[in-house]
Structure 1
Amino acid sequence: MLGPYVNGVSVLAGSLGGAMLGSRLSKNLRNRMPMVFGCASMGLGVAMIVKVKSLPPMVLALVLGSILGELVHLETGVQKIAAKTRKLIEKISKPSGDLSHDEFLEKFVAIMVLFCVSGTGIFGAMSEGMTGDPTLLIVKAILDLFTSAIFAASLGYTVATLVVPQFAIQAALYFGAAFIMPLATPAMVADFSACGGLIMLATGFRICGIKQFAVANMIPSLFLVMPLSALWAKYMG
């Protein structure tokens, strides 16, 4: 297992470097580069959405997953953890950036989704688990190095804590790939990709400040889409 470690180190290094530089980075760079990252997220999302095999189960998974996320207040929970983590870190380090509390939470949740449940990370980890090839995660690591540095310049050292859930998710997918992939059909994988693409598209809108989708509440959709896709193919396909 190489990719999850490389990706984790890149996020950690970028976050620490960006937080240390803080306001010394150009304000234009700190303000404009997240727009570029948001645009890239939307582009990758669209590229994943067009892979969809069956629209009904994918849309149903997104709707049911989002309802589940709303019912358990998933985004609110993530925001509370982020706020507590920020306070803890700022007790031992100088606060970075000039974002308000609400702005901090909005951006933190968006980059958490971008780092932890992006299509590149999910498929990269599963691909390495099945083939031993870490290429996709290494490519993601290069992008995450710069992304984490720019966001950490505004959000501070809290961004570095995202290494923990990111590594846990990628490691679980890496070891679980041997069990998941033999049960998954190409159609199920395509619908899974499309569902993740919709979440990445919403994340891009959020990062760019166009529309504040509750992207964390959409995450349960990823656990529902493959079973629903399989049931659709069996009974409706």
Structure 2
Amino acid sequence: MLTGPIINSVATLAGSIIGATMGNKIPERLRLALPLTFGAASMALGINSVVKVSMLPPVILALLVGSAVGELLKIEKGIEWAAIRVNGPIQKIFPGKKTDEDPQAFLQNFVAVLVLFSASGTGIFGALNEGITHDPTVLISKAMLDFFTSAIFATSLGFIVATTVIPQFIILCGLYLLAGVILPLTTPQLIADFSACGGIIMFVTGFRITGIKKFPIANMLPALLLVMIFSHYWRLLFH
């Protein structure tokens, strides 16, 4: 059963609805301080994944090529365009729940939260792990973090945060169902490099959430599709 993906997605949805409904009832100092904590947590999770890397060169190469592909495809621009289009109808349905951020900050935080929920190394590993072992512990732990993260960001971004549950559920379920096919084709070294690549993306997501630097994290996502291929052939060529 899809225990982990369901619990994680329900937690994100519940947190989003609670946060958007409560809105300004949550003290401003809390709404400002907690995203910094979430950003720091994202950095810590990223570092934890990066230190497990098996071979760094193919990971860096995947990030460079993947980022170039993402820039050419304008993935982040596409997500921002979709967010603006979706937010319009949501504001009409919930006219009293307008976002209190300027448009640029709104888009920056929405993309960061979307990537954090849907493409984090923890989520990807957790879904694959549950697909093989049927142990949902990792995704249940992630669900607790996503619940509070979605609630806090929904206080400023509004009900649109709830829409992130759609790609999150699709990705987690897809990885869960494909785990039996994907993992037998990999090695511990490939998984380590994959986790390291996701860890770097999570690390820079933390920078974005805290407002230190706006990394184009959505444009970096193609690297996750390339890193295992690069890692495999790097070993064939240089070992």
Superposition TM-score, scaled by structure 2 size: 0.98
Map of 1:103 onto structure 2: 105
Map of 1:29 onto structure 2: 30
Superposition TM-score, scaled by structure 1 size: 0.99
Question: 1:222 deviation in Å?
Answer: 0.1
| 1:229 partner amino acid | S
Deviations 1:27-54 (A, max 9, x none): 0011110000000000111111111111
Map of 1:160 onto structure 2: 162
Spell out structure 1 runs of 4+ moving beyond 6 A: none
What are structure 1's unaligned runs of at least 5 residues? none
Number of residue pairs aligned between Structure 1 and Structure 2? 237
Deviations 1:46-81 (A, max 9, x none): 111111111110000000000000000000000011
C-alpha root-mean-square deviation of aligned residues, in Å? 0.7
Contact 2:3 2:136 in 1 (8 A): yes
Map of 1:140 onto structure 2: 142
Q: Determine the C-alpha separation between the residues in 2 that align with 1:96 and 1:89.
A: 9
Map of 1:43 onto structure 2: 44
Identity of aligned residues (%): 53
Question: 1:96 deviation in Å?
Answer: 3.4
Q: Determine the C-alpha separation between the residues in 2 that align with 1:21 and 1:135.
A: 29
Map of 1:220 onto structure 2: 222
Question: 1:88 deviation in Å?
Answer: 1.3
Matches within 5 A, 1:1-237: 1-93=2-94, 94-237=96-239
Question: 1:95 deviation in Å?
Answer: 2.8
Deviations 1:92-147 (A, max 9, x none): 10233410111100000000010000111000000000011111000011111111
| 1:215 partner amino acid | I
Question: 1:84 deviation in Å?
Answer: 0.9
Q: Determine the C-alpha separation between the residues in 1 that align with 2:116 and 2:223.
A: 15
Q: Determine the C-alpha separation between the residues in 2 that align with 1:186 and 1:8.
A: 28
Deviations 1:178-228 (A, max 9, x none): 011001011100000000000001100000000000000000000000011
Contact 1:96 1:153 in 2 (8 A): no
